[in-house]
Chain A
């Protein structure tokens, strides 16, 4: 948090913040496993962003005369039943996973945080009603809800995101609310009210910054979860419409040919599990690192 003296004494901001590098270094020293997760995640993001430019072939168009080619120098991960280059499909699958995961978290965690903070801060009747509504949403199994929404609205990326965000926000709103409740009873909130801050200002400047740690942890775990859910939906045949190279779709298609052509299953399965595993070990370490008290919440 910045104070008046900080503002006067600190040099102008540069693009390079030594504080961030230092924080990352401390984190890596204390949580080596978490640091491994972080490195894997950075690699995942880089691959996801660059995939459309570096894939050797079009992920959705088969190469004539190249069906079911085993991994070779020309096709490092082999080709599938349509002769599509699997390396290009796995790479572009990362793009889909990041897009769906990122947008879902943005929407779901955003809405959950907003609802949680407002509900906790306003308290009383508003809080009671909001909590009942969230209970109702929570009692519907997320994947089923998502399945119904995507099937009816159409198997497009935006609909998958909406469906997964609707499934994710109640849990997030609950955790954020319980944390915001604790913050609300802090003396500095009373102090802010005493000097005449508006409710909006208190929520934005005093309550929200103090639940940010929780929100970051939830967002990390949520991103991994969203990637799993997207793959599950695609596996069930209710994700983004094929031929989009979602890892879930690829695993589903591979399941019919996996005995003669195991490499079709191997590569998308590895990609999906490494990414989700990375999110989980990173999220776990981050939770311990940012707030040891949070360890109990799982």
Chain B
């Protein structure tokens, strides 16, 4: 077990290095002259001399050999000093810090909603396999898979505005200082993203529950006369939860992808929207940092779920 943990931790290092190299390579390989973009503010480039462009490129260190740029960037990231935004000239970590609370609240809220929806739905549709309840829930969860988040979000905004004359308070207020406003702002995005996550999760809960319900120990429990709910919740669900937790963890890790769309629909000032903004503005230090951050989150949450898996399931042996 200890060897497994150490091994897994060590394996993260090359993966992260690879990720950083890929992110860096893609950002550099993509065309688009950052210096010209900054000087012209995205315009066609009139009134900017080649000299000015060259000077700015030198200032930004873009004339150095690529490996020098890479090492310099990586060293900065490791010390948590990834530099400043090309647009606001603020330290990137400060910009990220300002937007982090919103994205974290969205992420945790959505995963919580998803678990609260998916586990009961999954259990019920497994117990009631191929009966009406199962079909209703199947339509509900395939709907969640089929309707893109941006569409569900737009529809929610539309229905509330058109038929209930309700418009969400814009922006994002701190959960601690203005709890009321915060909840009013976040409830829709959290439910929309949570519904999307719950679709996948309830399908997984259903299929693992179906497998577990056929196990011998479930039959034994029934045979010794335990009540149905006791068997389902006490014996079957406990054993089916493991894959469910894993997928919930993976969703949390891949969240920035979901946040990009949800935050754009609801105009929330979070990391996802910041990322879209940085991409369109060619603010490459910001893009690099955010993409790297989401990849790191993914890798570590993946690692975490694997380790939890190994810790609580004695059947799993890793050599």
Measured CB to CB, the residues of A under 8 A from B are 132-133, 135-145, 147-149, 151-153, 224, 228, 231-232, 235-238, 248, 251, 254-255, 258-259, 262, 265, 269, 272-273, 276-277, 279-281, 284, 295-296, 298
Contact A298–B204 (Cβ < 8 Å): yes
Contact B22–A273 (Cβ < 8 Å): no
Nearest-Cβ distance from residue A177 to partner chain B, whole angstroms: 17
Note all chain B residues with C-beta closer than 8 A to A137. 22
In the complex, whether B203 has a CB less than 8 A from a CB of chain A is yes
Which one of B45-53, B143-151, B170-178 contacts A?
A: B143-151
In the complex, the chain B residue whose C-beta lies closest to that of A228 is B148
In the complex, the chain A residue whose C-beta lies closest to that of B20 is A136
| Cα distance A14–B302 in the bound complex, in angstroms | 52
Contact A272–B148 (Cβ < 8 Å): yes
In the complex, whether B30 has a CB less than 8 A from a CB of chain A is yes
Instruction: Give the residue of B150, B211, B279 whose beta carbon is less than 8 angstroms from that of A248.
Output: B150
| Cα distance A280–B30 in the bound complex, in angstroms | 34
Contact A153–B30 (Cβ < 8 Å): yes
| Cα distance A238–B207 in the bound complex, in angstroms | 36
Contact B264–A139 (Cβ < 8 Å): no
For the complex of A and B, the 8 pairs showing the least CB-CB separation, nearest first, are A152-B30, A141-B257, A277-B146, A136-B18, A276-B146, A139-B295, A139-B298, A235-B150
Measured CB to CB, the residues of B under 8 A from A are 14-15, 18-19, 22-23, 26-27, 30-32, 142-143, 145-151, 154-155, 157-158, 161-162, 200, 203-204, 207, 211, 254, 256-257, 260-261, 264, 275-276, 279-280, 282, 287, 290-291, 294-295, 298-299, 302
Nearest-Cβ distance from residue A18 to partner chain B, whole angstroms: 32
Contact A140–B161 (Cβ < 8 Å): no
Note all chain B residues with C-beta closer than 8 A to A145. 26, 291
Contact B162–A259 (Cβ < 8 Å): yes
Instruction: Give the residue of B14, B146, B150, B257 whose beta carbon is less than 8 angstroms from that of A144.
Output: B257
Interface majority SS (helix, strand, loop, mixed), chain A = helix
Note all chain B residues with C-beta closer than 8 A to A296. 207, 211
15 of the cross-chain contacts (CB-CB < 8 Å) are A132-B18, A136-B22, A139-B19, A139-B298, A141-B254, A141-B257, A143-B260, A144-B260, A147-B279, A148-B27, A152-B31, A153-B30, A231-B148, A238-B276, A255-B158
**Most chain A CB within a 10 A radius of its CB, from B148, B149, B158:** B148
Note all chain B residues with C-beta closer than 8 A to A298. 200, 203-204, 207
Nearest-Cβ distance from residue A254 to partner chain B, whole angstroms: 8
Instruction: Give the residue of A138, A236, A273 whose beta carbon is less than 8 angstroms from that of B264.
Output: A236
Answer whether A265 and B154 are a contact pair too, CB < 8 Å, given A136-B19, A236-B276: yes
| Cα distance A273–B261 in the bound complex, in angstroms | 17
| Cα distance A8–B14 in the bound complex, in angstroms | 56
Answer whether A280 and B291 are a contact pair too, CB < 8 Å, given A148-B27, A152-B31, A236-B276: no
In the complex, the chain B residue whose C-beta lies closest to that of A237 is B280
Answer whether A232 and B148 are a contact pair too, CB < 8 Å, given A262-B162, A296-B211: yes
| Cα distance A281–B295 in the bound complex, in angstroms | 32
| Cα distance A107–B288 in the bound complex, in angstroms | 26
Contact B30–A148 (Cβ < 8 Å): yes
Instruction: Give the residue of A133, A144, A248 whose beta carbon is less than 8 angstroms from that of B291.
Output: A144
Note all chain A residues with C-beta closer than 8 A to B280. 151, 237-238
In the complex, the chain B residue whose C-beta lies closest to that of A265 is B158
| Cα distance A54–B90 in the bound complex, in angstroms | 54
Contact A147–B276 (Cβ < 8 Å): yes
Contact B256–A141 (Cβ < 8 Å): yes
In the complex, the chain A residue whose C-beta lies closest to that of B11 is A132
In the complex, the chain A residue whose C-beta lies closest to that of B32 is A152
Nearest-Cβ distance from residue B77 to partner chain A, whole angstroms: 16
Instruction: Give the residue of B19, B31, B154 whose beta carbon is less than 8 angstroms from that of A255.
Output: B154
| Cα distance A284–B135 in the bound complex, in angstroms | 13
Answer whether A139 and B299 are a contact pair too, CB < 8 Å, given A144-B291, A262-B158: yes
Nearest-Cβ distance from residue A139 to partner chain B, whole angstroms: 4
Nearest-Cβ distance from residue A49 to partner chain B, whole angstroms: 23
Nearest-Cβ distance from residue A160 to partner chain B, whole angstroms: 14
Contact A269–B31 (Cβ < 8 Å): no
Nearest-Cβ distance from residue A220 to partner chain B, whole angstroms: 13
| Cα distance A133–B19 in the bound complex, in angstroms | 9
Contact B260–A236 (Cβ < 8 Å): yes
Nearest-Cβ distance from residue B127 to partner chain A, whole angstroms: 17
Contact A232–B261 (Cβ < 8 Å): yes
Answer whether A273 and B276 are a contact pair too, CB < 8 Å, given A141-B256, A153-B30: no
| Cα distance A132–B22 in the bound complex, in angstroms | 13
In the complex, the chain B residue whose C-beta lies closest to that of A269 is B151
Contact B260–A147 (Cβ < 8 Å): yes
Contact A142–B257 (Cβ < 8 Å): yes
Contact B23–A272 (Cβ < 8 Å): no
Contact B207–A280 (Cβ < 8 Å): no
| Cα distance A238–B276 in the bound complex, in angstroms | 9
| Cα distance A132–B98 in the bound complex, in angstroms | 34
